[in-house]
Structure 1
Amino acid sequence: MLPGERIAFDPIAGRRRLELPDGKRVAVWIIVNIEEWNPLETMPRTVLTPPAGGAPMPDIPNWAWHEYGNRVGFWRILDVFDDYRLPGNLAVNGCAIAAYPQIAEAAHSRGWEFIGHGFSQKNMQKVADEVEDIRLTTEAIQRFTGTRPRGWLGPGLTETWETPERLVAEGYDYVADWVLDDQPVVLKTRNGPLANVPYTQECNDVAMMLIQHHKASEYRDRAIDQFEQIRSDARHGARVMAMVLHPYIMGAPHRLRYFREAVAHIAGCPDAVFMTGSAILDWAKAQQG
């Protein structure tokens, strides 16, 4: 199905008003992406190119750059979640649960929601068998947490033409790949409806730091500006805001403080409530009917 066949154009201005509990106006969810990069394959992203270019194998500098995030950066980020008692969302490669069990346990013990993020960090259009990839990811999360995941985030937001159908067939309730709204929406699939919970490409450290090459403070500035605009919009009905982190990026020592400062601003606003993706979905479904 083409995108326009899955979801009809529906401007936010004419919709039924949504209300969050306790008079809140903005539901904020923070997604931490945990990935395992295979040293036998080309690195998903790079910070350093070798002399004279090329694609070295092994690519130790870029593999290690990412590995630092899981060894060190994640734990800095976790301190912010603990200090502000925030609910977390772990978008995790299925293989990363076994590779980084201490991270998985830290998230699980705090009640974070686990979201399927592909079995490995690879474009879903390039995996050998997408159905098997989704199944393996689901089983890895269920085996570790005891609960089947409800949400899915494609690696790099990638999907095939059949991904939504395959997610519904595997029992998923929502996806976050369709960054096109500030409220949860419903996608049509041949296997039944699939919700989409608002994600972000703007308040996302990959886009800001690796693609747009902004200074570290841009994360704080953009998160606060985005929150304040969405908060203003929410006078017409509740909205959702996402913040996206990768430990190898925002967990770097020169960047972490700006994530903390953004959280401090939002947490200090009485109109904000931090939630998990599933909690946002359940709230929206109850409101939207």
Structure 2
Amino acid sequence: MSDEEAGRARDFIGYGRNPPDPRWPGGAHVVCNFVINYEEGGEASVPDGDPNSENALTEGSTAPVKGRDLAAESMFAYGSRAGFWRLHRIFTARGMPCTVFAVARALQRNPEACAAMREAGWDVAAHGLRWEMHNAFDKATERERIAQATAVITRCIGERPAGWYTRYAPSLNTRRLLIEAGYEYDSDAYDDELPYWVKCAGRDALVVPYSLVHNDVRFPRMGMSSGSEYFEYMRDAIECVLREDPPRMLSFGLHNRIIAHPGRAMGLARLLDWIGNHPRVAVMRRVDIARHWRKEHPAP
């Protein structure tokens, strides 16, 4: 299979100097999509049969531990026990929608959180069967993982996921397999600030790009230290587009075990309040962005 067949040809041009007008609802100039990555309980762990505990995106991730890492396990558990509920309160108190990138096994372990997602009307996109990268999977294994993740999330949420996001590294087969599985879009790209279409195995695939730049991973990885820093950095991203650019979509990634700690969460709360008072900025669910794009800018 060639890169083109898998929808993975490298494109360094994109929309160029004349991007399409998204025609966002309500005439918004910037549409923001907030994504809660729900991963806690789907990561590698010794009790689940893995040789080592996962410690990525935890406060102690610079301390290598062989075998079972009880500290890392506890930090993941904070995300589902306390962090998720803080984010749930922050968004629902303001009536703002968000998207969940959900690891299927993580949802299975917290039915109450699944109920809260349903009640809030959040869209739940698939983030894998487990919190794992797909780049090393053979085609048959990956097809089975996608099918299992889809089935589990459908049971937990009561609705089939429309979108997919792989943990960082998809395989050359991922996009094709997602089309075969009936997904409306994937977010396995970081190369634009507007959705776009690609050809994949002779079919049209919609890509709704994601971002690791406007993401709370900057706390553990890049030294962001306070909620005020978070607020200023993300606000500046929106203001840059408002002042300098044509209409855009900006993705803001969140994690229950990172941004939801109190000193950081206040920065998110301030950002949502600032957005709520800005007439040219809107917040949309990712599935609504994808369907809006499909309607306003159908595949060529």
Normalising by structure 2, report the TM-score.
Answer: 0.88
Q: What's the CA shift string for 1:202-242, capped at 9, x where partnerless?
A: 11111x112112112322111101111122345x3x31111
Q: Which of 30, 33, 57 is matched with 1:29 structurally?
A: 33
Q: Number of aligned pairs?
A: 283
Aligned counterparts of 1:49 and 1:194: Cα–Cα separation in 2:
36
Aligned to 1:58: 68
Aligned counterparts of 1:84 and 1:13: Cα–Cα separation in 2:
36
Aligned to 1:79: 89
Quick one: which amino acid aligns to residue 121 of structure 1?
W
Aligned counterparts of 2:75 and 2:229: Cα–Cα separation in 1:
21
Aligned to 1:247: 256
Contact residue 137 and residue 171 of structure 2 kept, 8 A: no
3-state DSSP of counterpart to 2:251: strand
Aligned counterparts of 1:165 and 1:68: Cα–Cα separation in 2:
36
1:197 aligns with 2:208: yes
1:39 aligns with 2:50: no
Q: Which runs of 4+ in 1 moved over 6 A?
A: none
Quick one: which amino acid aligns to residue 192 of structure 1?
R
Aligned-pair distance for 1:171?
0.6
Unaligned runs of 5+ in 1: none
Q: What's the CA shift string for 1:238-257, capped at 9, x where partnerless?
A: 31111110010001122110
Q: Which of 1, 12, 17 is matched with 1:13 structurally?
A: 17
Contact residue 55 and residue 72 of structure 2 kept, 8 A: no
**Cα distance change, pair 190–271 in 1 and its aligned pair in 2 (3 A):** same
Aligned counterparts of 1:191 and 1:117: Cα–Cα separation in 2:
25
Contact residue 44 and residue 121 of structure 1 kept, 8 A: no
Unaligned runs of 5+ in 2: none
What pairs up with 1:162-177 in 2 under 5 angstroms?
162-177=173-188
Aligned to 1:274: 283
Normalising by structure 1, report the TM-score.
Answer: 0.91
Q: Which of 60, 63, 76 is matched with 1:48 structurally?
A: 60
Q: Which of 140, 148, 159 is matched with 1:136 structurally?
A: 148
Contact residue 31 and residue 88 of structure 1 kept, 8 A: yes
What root-mean-square deviation, in Å, do the aligned CA atoms of Structure 1 and Structure 2 show? Answer: 2.0
1:118 aligns with 2:128: yes
Aligned-pair distance for 1:18?
2.5
1:260 aligns with 2:260: no
Aligned counterparts of 2:61 and 2:282: Cα–Cα separation in 1:
42
Q: Which of 142, 146, 150 is matched with 2:158 structurally?
A: 146
